[in-house]
Amino acid sequence: MNKQIIFEGVKGYVSYENARKRGEEVAKMLDSALDSPIYREYFYRWMIVAKPDGRYLPVFAANNLPGGPGMLLGEVNVGVIN
């Protein structure tokens, strides 16, 4: 079954480069939060997606983060899938 995720309410970025920069900022935050021996088993992946309106969005797969997607709740202009 295919399911399309639209990320309603998330504006995104006009350029791929700006979305990549934002993704790198969030990834850096996650890396520092996970930089502890107790979090060795946790990891995440992220990608840039094109929204139906032509804008770009960094999207994080957060199913293996401590606290799950809740770890990214305060982040703006970032998509999260679980």
Which tens digits make up the pLDDT trace of 6-50?
788 889 999 999 999 999 999 999 888 888 888 878 888 999 999
Q: What is the pTM of this model?
A: 0.84
DSSP 14: S
Per-residue model confidence (pLDDT) at position 1? 66
Per-residue model confidence (pLDDT) at position 58? 96
Q: Delineate the domains of the chain, giving CATH numbers in brackets.
A: 16-81 (3.30.300)
Q: Got the DSSP string for 16-81? A: HHHHHHHHHHHHHHHHHHT-SGGGTT---EEEEEE-TTS-EEEEEE-TTSTTGGGGGTT-SS-EEE
